[in-house]
A and B are shown apart, each in its own frame.
Chain A
Amino acid sequence: MDNELIGHFNALPCLVWTVFPDGRAEFINKRWRDYTGLSTEDVSGQAWKALIHPDDLPAVLVSWESIVACGAAGQFEARMRRYDGSYRRLLFRMNPLIDASGRVIKWCGVGIDIDDTWRSQEALRIAERNLGLVINAIPVPAWSNRIDGSAEFFNQHYLDYVGLSAEQVSDWGWMAAVHPDDVDALSSTWRRMVDSHEPGEIEARLRRFDGEYRWFMFRINPLRNEGGGIVKWYGIGIDIDDRKRAEEELRRSEACLAEAQRTSMTGSFSWLLDSDEISFSEELYHIFEFEHRSLVTFDRIEDRIHPDDLPLLWDKRKDARSTGADLDYDVRLLLPNGTLKYVHVVSHCTRDRQGRREYIGAVQDVTQRRISEDALGTLRSELARLAEFNSLGALTASIAHEVNQPLSGVITNASTCLRMLAANPPNVDGALETARRMIRDGHRASDVITRVRALFSKKTSVTECVNLNDAAKEVIALSLSTLKSNRVVVKTDFLDDLPAITGDRIQLQQVILNLLLNASEAMSGIDDRPRQIVIKTEEDDDDRIRLTVQDTGVGIDPDVRSKMFETYYTTKGDGMGIGLSISKSIIERHHGTLRAAPNDGPGARFWFSIPRADEHASDSEEIASVRTFAAGNVVRIMGDR
């Protein structure tokens, strides 16, 4: 080989060598030597094989043998050790040099370092393999579509789910697994997305390998090239069947609740105390005649509450804020068209998930019930009046019968007596006898009267230790419905450990009831302020127990004040005067005093003071004598309402 040619070979940017068919090296260029760090002598003969990576050597030898055997050009890749000891991948190409007789004289080869290229390609291959693994391993159906919308690729999960082969689902074959009812919507949505080039979502049922359809949410995104044009579509399906079922269940349960609320005319609400956020159920919007889903505020609610009931509402709201107590009250709604509705509110305080205080409650439209109750109440009081009338009639008849019998005897005897005296001769003995019988019958009539009187004044009286707090509580409980129907709020301000008094519990309760009902009555025309009664118990300076009933009613007319405890004095037809005078008698029998005074503000207060127990002798006889009368009077006051 001449020197010029060797110079050219050495300048080539690749490894160049020639070998004999038996594998012995003949020539290696400078780059070869530089690359391997070996001299020509070092690699002569078979020594080059030591440069090949041991793992690659068997393949290299096979390739080499095959190339030599064919006697034609060939190539192979292998890692070869560099001067620095690192192995790099090279592409070896071999061409045979053939003489005139067609015999291979030697092989000329070049080695090109492809290590960098190979590594990057290998990285890509690994990445692609990994991606493929991931795509097939992710537990959701995934696929790709061509620009026209036809399917190109499905991951293994997709194929496993539908139980079809890649061939079966390719192009438009996947449509076979979509629920027939969903095909149209799915197709048109998908078509729209393909046309508009916008990503999107579609919900549809997809048939599983076992034939069961499950709801999926399909999300599809376009892959765009640098110019923004769509290259492919990629999609995944998310199994939302359980959510869908839960939604359906929720919808059904909500529909059921709404129906129940409609039928029972009960709406529900929630009220967050801190922010005053209020939410209404559909039925409650209906009850309040608010536009459905409109914003609910207290201002709007108050617009609908009957003006007389606003103080009650304010009171309840204040209670709710300060105590968090359960609410249970009746209130009236006055709607813009003038309709009056009675509603019953019950509510319970709880905390929402953020820990905020919240009232959850129900509002029932009880108008119908209330109207029938009122009608029933009217009927009942009419019946009571009738019964009272009847029992009075029966009583009168009974008394008349009892008295007429002896009277009849008296008259008959008188007639007999007259006849005996008028006879000739007069029968004086007989006349005397009949006159005696006459007297006896007269006494019998008188006895009847005594008996009747005894019947109506049972001389049994209980004198006991009475705790006025307890007594008042019972009275409040007894009269609550009457007070409630007058929309009166009763508050108590009881002294704890109130000392007992001695007396007739029932009589004292009649006094308290009388004061309570009078207070309620005094507020019946009050609409500009809360109708409120405060019942207070305390010990006064003279070691007496005082009970005060204070109202916010019309107050006391100064002209009336001096006369109002007088017997039979009354300003009304329903007998307040009698009630007060009897009350006064009862209190005086208990060695106490009954007083009244106007408030500083609106209304009046009535109070009685009674010495605490063991400081006066009880006088049950006296107490008993006023009891019956007072009881009758209280009944009458109540009956009139």
Chain B
Amino acid sequence: MIAMPPLVTVIDDDESVRESLPYLLRECGFSAAAFSSAEEFLTSDCLEKARCLILDMAMPGMSGLELQHELARSGRNIPIVFITANRDETIRLLALKRGAIDYLFKPFSETVLLEAINAAFL
């Protein structure tokens, strides 16, 4: 049986990101899944399988920061790479302090993203 590539899960309410990122991730050799909200992700089977989260900060419903908190509370130590369109240093520092792998401002380059994901798998 061929081992499945590690699953990277994209959670973003923006359609462009949900569409484009999984293609790129698969091109880079990962499995990819995409969800439009944190709630959707939490009720899916990806919750168990995801090895890395690419998580949007500002979303309707549960925010990226809240999901990070929720995962930490339930003992799921999934590495998180935040992505956001808002340049807010305070939130960035808070997210990093709580253990995020990286915090990327949109639009970000492929190189920066892959560095972050690789850091997550170290």
Contact = CB atoms under 8 A, between A and B. Distances in A.
A401 B108 contact: no
Nearest to A411: B107
Contacts of A348: none
Contacts, number: 74
B85 A411 contact: no
Given A413-B23, A416-B20, A437-B20, A408 B110 contact: no
A400 B106 CA distance: 10
A437 B19 contact: yes
B110 A415 contact: yes
DSSP class of A's interface residues: helix, strand, loop or mixed?
A: helix
Nearest to B20: A412
Contacts of A416: 20, 23-24, 27
A161 B64 CA distance: 102
B109 A444 contact: no
In this complex, the member of B19, B105, B106 whose beta carbon has the largest number of chain A beta carbons within 10 angstroms is B106
A409 B107 CA distance: 8
A567 B21 CA distance: 48
B122 to A, nearest CB: 22
A441 interface: yes
Contacts of B108: 408, 411
A2 B106 CA distance: 176
A407 B108 CA distance: 9
Contact of A415 (B58, B87, B105, B109): B109
Contacts of B28: 419
A402 to B, nearest CB: 8
A397 interface: yes
B107 A408 contact: yes
Given A415-B110, A416-B24, A419-B24, A408 B19 contact: no
In this complex, the member of A412, A413, A444 whose beta carbon has the largest number of chain B beta carbons within 10 angstroms is A412
Contacts of A405: 14, 16-17, 85, 106
In this complex, the member of B83, B105, B107, B110 whose beta carbon has the largest number of chain A beta carbons within 10 angstroms is B107
A409 B27 contact: no
A344 B33 CA distance: 74
B86 interface: yes
B85 A404 contact: yes
A82 to B, nearest CB: 141
A410 B86 CA distance: 17
A404 B106 contact: yes
A423 B29 CA distance: 12
Given A410-B107, A411-B107, A419-B28, A434 B16 contact: no
Given A401-B86, A416-B23, A419-B28, A444 B16 contact: yes
B85 A408 contact: yes
Interface string A431-453: 00010010001001000000000
A409 B24 CA distance: 11
A420 interface: yes
A415 B14 CA distance: 18
B12 to A, nearest CB: 9
A409 B14 contact: yes
A405 B15 CA distance: 9
A404 B12 CA distance: 13
Contacts of B107: 404, 407-408, 410-412
Interface string B1-36: 000000000000010110111011001100000000
In this complex, the member of A408, A441, A444 whose beta carbon has the largest number of chain B beta carbons within 10 angstroms is A408
A525 interface: no
Interface of A: 397, 400-401, 404-413, 415-416, 419-420, 423, 430, 434, 437, 441, 444
6 contacts: A400-B86, A410-B16, A410-B107, A412-B17, A412-B110, A413-B23
